[in-house]
Each structure stands twice: as C-alpha cells, then as structure tokens.
Structure 1
Amino acid sequence: MGCSSCSSGKDGQPKGCKNNGTCGTDGCNKLTVFDWLSNMSLPSGVSPFHCVEIRFKNGRKEFFKNTENLSLSIGDIVATESSPGHDIGMVTLTGELVRIQMKKKKVDVESEEVRKIYRKASQKDIDIWQKARDREEPMKVRARQIAIRLELQMKISDIEFQGDGSKCTFYYTAEDRVDFRQLIKEFAQEFNTRIEMRQIGFRQEAARLGGIGSCGRELCCSTWLTDFRSVNTSAARYQQLSLNPQKLAGQCGKLKCCLNYELDSYIDALKEFPKTDIKLRTEKGTAVFQKIDIFKGYLWYAYEGEWMNWHMISVAHANEIIEANNNKETVASLEEFASELLADTKVDFENVVGQDSLTRFDQPKKSNRRKKKRNRNTKNKPKSEAIKNNVQKQHASKGKSRNTENKSPNKKSSQSNRRRKPQQGKNNDKA
C-alpha cells in the first residue's frame, strides 16, 4: 500500500516521498489503521474524543491528550510532551476509534501516563528533528564498534533520537544480563547527548527492523500485528507439520506467529477424529495408528508385525471400530472397511488453469508439414510402388517433350511432314 506521491523517477528508479517512514499521507507507514468511522458524523451535542494516537519511529505508538483542542487529522506532525523536552510525532488515528483502541489495550484515559500535545510542529521543529534523525545511522555503526571492543554480549539493533535532539534511546537485544555502565560513559563522551538503554525482545527487534518472510510478503509484526501471542510447538503438531526449526522459525529466531492463524480451525476439525494412541482390535490382529489426513478425513493403520502394509479407513469407520471394541466386540479385519474406499479415492486430475494450455499465448512455430508428409509417404511405400511411380514420371516427361516438339515450328518438323505425304500416296495406289 503506497501513498499517492509514490511513483517512478528517472531510469525506472522509485521516486516516493523520501520521508523515510514519516509519509504525510500515512499510506506507506508501518502499522497503519484505517479509520472506518471517518465518514460518520457525531450526534448533536457530543464532543469528539480528546485523545489522539501518535506514531513515532518504526511503529512506536502512544496515546496523547489534546488539551488545547487543536484541529488534528491523520498525517499532521505535532510536538508532544516528553521527559525532558518535547518529542515530534505524527498523528495516525483520531476520533472514536482511539477510545476503542485505548479500551482494548487497557489504557486509562485519566492516568498520568497519557501525556498531552503541545502544538502543531513548526518548520523549525521539523528541521531539528530531521537533523537528529540523520545522525542515527552513523551513530549506530559507531555504537556497535564500541560494544564489540568492550566484548559485551549484546546487539544494538536500532537508535531513536528524541524530536528536540536532547536524548538518544539505544534499543538492544541480549540473552543474558549486560553490565553496560562503561558503555554508557563512552557513549556520552562520543556522542555528547543523553543516553538511554532499552532492552527489547527478539520479536520486537524484528518488528522494528522489518523484512520479508518466507511467504514472500512483509513481516506481519512490522505491518499490522500489534500484539505478540505465545506460539508453542503443539500448534505445529496439530497442523501435522514437521518439527523442523529451520522451517518453523521466523527471522526473529522464534516460532512463526502465523502458526496460530489457522490453529482454531484445525482443533475444531480434529474433534471428530479419534485419538492417535487408541489401537484397533480385530480378529486379524491389533492395528496401530500411522498417519492422518485432516482435509480428506482419512486415517492410516497398520497391523502389529506388518508395519509396511498400511490400511486407509475413514473417520466414521474408525469411530465405529472403536465403539465396537468398547462394547467388547471385534471386527473381522480392516480390509473390509478399506475396500469400500478404493472406488471413492480415485482422483481425476484436472488442469488447474481451466483445461487450457499454458502455451496458448505463445506464437506457433512454422513447420514444413508438406515436406514431412512427402518424406513419410515415400518411406512407407514399398519398393515396387516406388519403381512404378518413377516409371510413370519418366513416361509423363517423355510425353511432354513430344508435345513440345510438335508445337514448335522448326524446319525438321516440316521436312518430316513432307516425307510422310508421299508415303501415304503410295499406300493408296497399292490399295
């Protein structure tokens, strides 16, 4: 989703608004919210909600009170209260949706944590803010070099300056507790600003930095996912996924958040299936569970001692056998139930694109079909027919040559005609 100013520049390079995450139209920012109540007017006598949601760098959002009753809309850059000084942020949501968001996140409107908005940012405030943000990238490189020199087991992932440039927050990740007292002293001497160290988790780090997931889309945590729910390996087991950490782990090194998206539907579908630890007792032997197909509703069982031969039965038949076993009854064999599925399990593979060829838009190649047919006919004919054809061709060529000689007005042809006339006369006299 891009804003209206995002387009292509010279040589096909992306032009964009070049605001680096502070787009004025709020169309290409992280964690954007669509205000579906913007077209609805409030009832008469009802004042709009006095709190506003404001976004800072990399999706950090906070709620502020609009005590000055400023006319704010999405995309406005404002100066907010901070300690010390003030911070610069952008308005991302106004109106009644802010009330719903605060209620969802359990934020008290009257608490002291909800600070106030000073004013709309002036051009001077924006210039100071931009200069501070330009310092962040070189400072991050230098900060990492200092941390490596001090041999600290930590990773500085991001740096965020306050809007007035009076304070700099360093976000880092570490597995163990880090003693960075010496680190802060060197940072203060190197950067000449107030330093604040803030530890974040690996998922928060991935959300701040962003990236592309294995699905080919941008990370959910950096685009729309606001809360991080715990993901267990049982979610992968319910969905019959292989417990491969390389495939199940995301860029943060933890289990992917998308494992929880379809977990509820899988759990509902598995309610009809029998438990996998239940064995089926038959007259032929005891069958043990081997495999399951949740979408088709089939289970595979194998007899003890015959592990290579699997028998596929439906969920209804498996529950029927288990019910019979609970009533102390045994079934003859699994083959009776598996044989009924042979006719139903035949799959007619169809073309996915609607019975159309994938090369239907390609230009057909020119082929010399006539020459190929002639060569095939000559190869398939017997030798006698080939000889007859050659003789017929020779006679036809001789007949053509005679006709051409008769038609041509040459002297030889006239003389031959004169010689033939007296011969005809002699023959008449003899008669």
Structure 2
Amino acid sequence: MSLASVTFKTAGKLYDFDTGGLLLVAGDLVVVETERGTAFATVARPAPPVGAATLGARSPRVLRKADARDLARHEANLQHEHEARRLCLGRIRDRRMSMKLIQVEYLFDASKAIFYFCAEGRVDFRELVRDLAQTLHIRIEMKQIGARDETKLIGGIGPCGRELCCSTWLREFQAVSVKMAKEQGLSLNPSKLSGMCGRLKCCLRYEYDTYLELRRALPRIGARVTSLKGDGEVVKQNVLRQTAIVRRTDDGVEVEVTLEDLVEKRAE
C-alpha cells in the first residue's frame, strides 16, 4: 500500500490517502473519498509504501487523478461559491446581522455549501440558512471561525513584507505566548508582537527552542562569575553572540565576556 499526502486548500492541513496504486507526484490534482463525500484535492507529497495494517481496511482512498470533467466541475463550484457569497452578503446586510462572512465552500459533488463566518458572539442564523437553502437549492452549513482562521483564509502581506505564513505554508497553528517574546529579548509592545489577525505572531515560535538551548549555555542574570576579564555579576545576556555582560566587582565597569572567558561560576 502506498500513501500520498493531500491538501484541500492552500497551506491547509495534510491528510494521508491510499493511492490505490496510482503514480502521483506533488502538484497532481486528484479526486478523493472523504467522510463528507468525494472531494477535490492537491497532492502535497507522495509518501513511501507502508504495510496494509498501518492504515487499516477502511483507509481513505484517492479515487482518481482529476480528469477534464472533474476540472470543469471544480471550476463550476468556484463560480457557485462566488455567487453564493454575494447572495449571503446581501442577506446579512438586509437583516443587519452581526456577523462577517469570510468564505463559501461547495463540496465537490455540490451537495452542500459551507459558509465560514466570524462573529463576536453567538449568532441566530436559522432564518438565513432557510433563505439560502430555498434560493440555492442546496444543503447549508454555517461554520464560525476565529481571527487566525479568518486571516489564513483571506491571506495578506505581513510586516516583514512577505505573504502571511498561515496562508502560504503554515498548515497548523501552534500555541504562542508572550513568554516566547521575552526569551528572545523582543520588545513587548503589543503592536510589534501582533500579526494581521490581531493575535501574537506565529513566527515568535520559530526560533524559541533555539533561544532556550543557547540561553542554557550562558550564566544567568544575577549570577556571580569569575572570568579572564575580572570577577563580577552577570547583568545582561546576548544569546545569539553567546556572550554575557559582567559588572566587575572591583571597579563597576561592565565588560562583555565569552563562554571561553569564563573561568568558573561562583555560588551565589
């Protein structure tokens, strides 16, 4: 049995599917079998063969490479999504509902449309759903998402000048905390730490583990040390340079010492 990892949207999560013997390469468009029915997907990467017991008898399968009819259906669904979004925006505006429509997704077989929206609290959208179902003649699902998912779906340019990580390659969100910024010696100004979604930037996590590892090699702030440049107290660390600023006991002068300069660390 061989597997392929596929994604259903740009930078979306990866899911492993049994290829059924199909020879697939990254970038191939395929039709797969899911719990929601057939779906259109893109191969992100092929995977090495595995034993049948690894996935089990009911493993999701790649049904086929997308053919001309599949591509035509996909294009038709994209057009339907555009029309459904425009319709829903009008209905939301007419009803003055406190919700923000982000995206509409049609299932590949056009049996259901999923409307992704943001709202500060709970929204009673029962009348809206009935209206949409009667007009579009399709099953309707309303799905409320958070600020991070909203930004991932919309995309944009980050303060670094590059396209947002979450909308291009970052497939899953991980927990990010202010502690990560502190460990990296970054300014704790909220405007500097917040991403386009208004939450802490995902990139605060990227180098966090490296900073922790490098910091462990340095004497901590407040430690008394003996160095080739004199004895004193550590008042600052430069994690990337792997140096410490030591205030000498005898004259109060601050000197930068490397790990090689340290003779020993005294007990406090």
Normalising to structure 2: TM-score of the pair?
0.75
Q: Is the 8 A contact 1:85 1:166 kept in 2?
A: no
Summarize the Cα distance change of 1:58–1:172 in structure 2 as closer, same or farther, 3 Å threshold. Answer: farther
Match of 2:220 in 1: 274
Q: Is the 8 A contact 2:158 2:164 kept in 1?
A: yes
The answer on 1:230 being equivalent to 2:175 is yes
* Structure 2 CA distance for aligned equivalents of residues 151 and 221 of structure 1: 31
* Structure 1 CA distance for aligned equivalents of residues 131 and 29 of structure 2: 34
Matches within 5 A, 1:127-206: 127-206=72-151
* Structure 2 CA distance for aligned equivalents of residues 85 and 260 of structure 1: 36
The answer on 1:110 being equivalent to 2:32 is no
Q: Is the 8 A contact 1:129 1:165 kept in 2?
A: no
Summarize the Cα distance change of 1:279–1:118 in structure 2 as closer, same or farther, 3 Å threshold. Answer: closer
* Structure 1 CA distance for aligned equivalents of residues 22 and 263 of structure 2: 70
Match of 2:266 in 1: 323
Match of 2:18 in 1: 65
Summarize the Cα distance change of 1:191–1:298 in structure 2 as closer, same or farther, 3 Å threshold. Answer: same
* Structure 2 CA distance for aligned equivalents of residues 73 and 321 of structure 1: 56
Match of 1:92 in 2: 44
* Structure 2 CA distance for aligned equivalents of residues 249 and 76 of structure 1: 36
Gaps of 5+ in 2: 226-231
Q: Is the 8 A contact 2:5 2:47 kept in 1?
A: no
State the 1:250 CA deviation.
Answer: 0.9
State the 1:92 CA deviation.
Answer: 3.1
Q: Is the 8 A contact 1:80 1:89 kept in 2?
A: yes
Q: Is the 8 A contact 2:11 2:166 kept in 1?
A: no
Match of 1:54 in 2: 6
Matches within 5 A, 1:15-414: 49-60=1-12, 61-67=14-20, 69-82=21-34, 86-96=38-48, 109-110=55-56, 112=58, 114-271=59-216, 272-276=218-222, 292-294=237-239, 295=241, 297-299=243-245, 311-314=253-256, 323=266, 326=268
* Structure 1 CA distance for aligned equivalents of residues 97 and 233 of structure 2: 53
User: 1:175-194 deviations in whole A, cap 9, x for unaligned?
Assistant: 43333222211221232222
* Structure 1 CA distance for aligned equivalents of residues 187 and 173 of structure 2: 23
Q: Is the 8 A contact 1:172 1:199 kept in 2?
A: yes
Q: Is the 8 A contact 1:155 1:172 kept in 2?
A: yes
User: 1:185-224 deviations in whole A, cap 9, x for unaligned?
Assistant: 1221232222122333332332333222211222222233
* Secondary structure in 2 matching 1:135: helix
* Structure 2 CA distance for aligned equivalents of residues 77 and 259 of structure 1: 34
* Secondary structure in 2 matching 1:250: coil
Identity %: 34
Q: Is the 8 A contact 1:75 1:90 kept in 2?
A: yes
Letter of the structure 1 residue corresponding to residue 142 of structure 2: M
Normalising to structure 1: TM-score of the pair?
0.50
* Secondary structure in 1 matching 2:220: coil
Letter of the structure 2 residue corresponding to residue 259 of structure 1: L
Match of 2:229 in 1: none
Structure having the higher Rg: 1
User: 1:331-364 deviations in whole A, cap 9, x for unaligned?
Assistant: xxxxxxxxxxxxxxxxxxxxxxxxxxxxxxxxxx
Q: Is the 8 A contact 2:113 2:141 kept in 1?
A: yes
State the 1:130 CA deviation.
Answer: 0.8
* Secondary structure in 2 matching 1:208: helix
Q: Is the 8 A contact 2:98 2:123 kept in 1?
A: yes
Q: Is the 8 A contact 2:113 2:140 kept in 1?
A: yes
Q: In angstroms, what is the RMSD of aligned CA positions?
A: 3.6
Letter of the structure 2 residue corresponding to residue 273 of structure 1: P
Letter of the structure 1 residue corresponding to residue 17 of structure 2: F
* Structure 2 CA distance for aligned equivalents of residues 244 and 209 of structure 1: 26
The structure in which a higher percent of residues are strand is 2
* Structure 2 CA distance for aligned equivalents of residues 82 and 124 of structure 1: 19
User: 1:40-89 deviations in whole A, cap 9, x for unaligned?
Assistant: xxxxxxxxx3333233233444333334x334444443332246653222
Match of 1:353 in 2: none
* Structure 1 CA distance for aligned equivalents of residues 258 and 64 of structure 2: 68
